[in-house]
Amino acid sequence: MCLIILAHQYRQGQPLVVAANRDEFFARPTAPARFWPDHRGVLAGQDLELGGTWLGITRSGRFAAITNCRDPARTLPAPRSRGELTLDFLAGSDSPQIYLQAVAARADSYAGFNLLVADQHSLWYFGNHAGAAATAPRALPPGLYGLSNASLDTPWPKVELGKSRLRELPDQSPDHESLLAVVNDHQLASPQALHRQGLTGEMDQALSAQFIQAGHYGTRCSTTLWREGGGTISWRETSYDEAGSVVGTVNEVFDLDPSA
């Protein structure tokens, strides 16, 4: 997952609103989002290579999402898969704080990551790389957040564009098409805007759009979701091929079940 734009208790009646893209090699085997047979309350896509997920939500309102990070010190293979971090939270029962404290204790077992986890009441962030804004898990106050492959709210052009577009959405209940537009811009960022963030390489330019099309690598899917104050969760995952054409959608609407 390479771009997450998220509103946490930002507007009344909308405790959680998310628009996100997963960018990955098209050759990596992936299963579209579903409720998992072995974790029946978990709605998420699945990385079939290592078994984890990049983003998901549960019937009880638990949410988790992860991105990798561009930290040269943490690009070597690591003993454990980052995708297990999201899945373990979704399938577990620990509070976000307790869970991230446990993750922090074993953080060196993973390549660089940024991790967001939430329950019905709170949203927490932790990153295990040098650029992370904090060295310990931290609770996030109500607000609007953006995350790509640097620390939370690093002002990369694609992140700033997404936050601006989400901020401009009307106050009424979201819809999937409007949320998709928050992360669906195909325009490359200007070299000047990238240079201000220290992004100077050809690859930085090629990957600077929100929606990436780079041959064998690109935006594999977009996820839009929100939870209403009354407890209804709306989810859509839109999958793409290498040409950027839609090849599948998964829609789910369900009521929050705290006992699930």
Give the model confidence (pLDDT) of 98-154 as tens digits: 999 999 999 989 988 999 999 999 999 999 886 665 568 999 999 999 999 989 999
pLDDT, tens digit, for every residue of 148-185? 998 999 999 999 999 999 999 998 889 999 999 999 99
Joined together, the tokens standing for residue 59 give: 């019937």
Joined together, the tokens standing for residue 27 give: 């050759």
Residue with tokens 């709605």: 43
Distance CA 10, CA 98 (A): 24
pLDDT of residue 235: 98
Taking only Cα atoms into account, the Rg of the chain, rounded to an integer number of angstroms, comes to 17
Distance CA 227, CA 22 (A): 20
pLDDT, tens digit, for every residue of 54-110? 999 999 999 999 998 865 554 556 678 899 999 999 999 999 999 999 999 999 899
Spell out the alpha helix ranges (H) of 77-187: 83-91, 96-105, 157-167, 176-182
Q: Band of the pLDDT at 196, cuts 50, 70, 90? A: confident
Which residue type sits at 187? Q
pLDDT, tens digit, for every residue of 11-55? 989 999 999 999 999 999 999 999 999 998 999 999 999 999 999
Question: 86 near 54, Cβ under 8 Å?
Answer: yes
Mean pLDDT of 248-260: 92
- The CATH code of the domain at 3-254 is 3.60.60.20
Taking the domains of the chain in order of start, what are their residue ranges?
Answer: 3-254
Question: How many of the other CB atoms lie within 10 Å of CB of 60?
Answer: 16
Distance CA 132, CA 125 (A): 10
pLDDT of residue 153: 94
CA-closest candidate to residue 33, choices 254, 257, 256, 211 = 254
Residue count (the chain): 260
pLDDT of residue 71: 54
pLDDT of residue 77: 66
Q: What DSSP line would sit under 178-225, residue for residue?
A: HHHHHS---PPPPHHHHHTTT--SHHHHHT-SSS-EETTEEEEEEEEE
Distance CA 239, CA 249 (A): 6
CA-closest candidate to residue 222, choices 23, 35, 8 = 23
Where is pLDDT greater, at 194 or 97?
97
pLDDT of residue 200: 67
- Helix pair angle (83-91, 96-105), 10° resolution: 140
pLDDT of residue 1: 60
Question: 20 near 3, Cβ under 8 Å?
Answer: yes
* Element containing residue 250 per DSSP (H, E): strand 246-255
Which residue type sits at 140? L
Question: How many of the other CB atoms lie within 10 Å of CB of 251?
Answer: 11
